[in-house]
Amino acid sequence: MIPIAISTNVEGGGEYAQAVSLAGGAPRLLAFDPESLDAQLDGAGGVLLCGGGDVDPGRYGGAPELAAEIDPQRDEFEFALVRRARQRGLPTLCICRGLQVANVAFGGSLFADIGAAFGVPTAERHRRTRSGQAERGLIAGHEVNVDAGSLLARIVPKSPIATGSRHHQSIATVGADLAVVATTSDGIVEAVEARFASPFWLGVQWHPESTLELDGGAANAIFAAFVGAARGVRAATAAG
């Protein structure tokens, strides 16, 4: 099985590790230690950046009072991680916070809070709760419209995609090295792809790891394409 480097604060990797395993990858959990980044990536076929707390608004000129659960150590590590993965040509999948990290790392900015920027109704569509907990399944009305011809459209040909969602921040200005390829009808950026050369690079704002059995195969297709690209890169490297 192809090793997939996973950056998350979820113990054991949770649903992220499970989704990678189901797609044929071998999860390798990373420590938030920039000094050992290269050693941790050695032998990995791909990189997965996962959900979590907010990116420090100081990194993009945002409002600090609107952010929560900031982890400076994780920020430092994951900014270095997404850049190093690009340098190494590693297939990369970024989910929720991971997409936001990548966007800021490549020069973009975020809305520090969707409610403050777009209003409460929009915020509720992107972070619905049940019994005080964020909804982990599909959210009615949270459908992602995908640009034809994009990598995401090739992976999941059917658009719109029914998805889940649990975030209060989103992309404001997209990084120069990234391209927006999917949005919701209320204007929230839901997926970005690389403008730079890469065997596979995709960032999604929703949580496909939580909807593997709920969305008609879209989430499974995303993880299968990611792990498949990692397998192809490792095979090409071994052959060369």
Amino acid at 196: F
What is the mean pLDDT of the segment spanning 227-235?
90
Residue-averaged pLDDT of the chain: 90
The answer to which of 19-23, 73-77, 213-217 has the lowest mean pLDDT is 213-217
pLDDT at 33: 98
Asked, as a colleague might, if the bond just before 57 is cis with ω within 30 of 0, I would say no
- Percent share of the chain, pLDDT over 70: 90
Q: Taking residues 136-164, what's their average pLDDT?
A: 89
List residues with catalytic annotation.
96, 207, 209
The β-bridge relationship of strands 25-29 and 2-7 is parallel
pLDDT of residue 160: 95
For 11-28, write each residue's pLDDT tens digit. Answer: 999 999 999 999 999 999
* The pLDDT of residue 240 is above 90: no
Residue ranges covered by each domain of the chain? 2-239
- Residue 117 predicted with pLDDT over 90: no
Give me the mean pLDDT over the 106-129 stretch: 71
Tens of pLDDT along 197-214? Answer: 999 999 999 999 999 999
The answer to whether the predicted template modeling score (pTM) of the entire model surpasses 0.85 is yes
* Fold type of domain 2-239: Rossmann fold (3.40.50)
Q: Residue 76 phi/psi, 5° resolution?
A: -60, -45
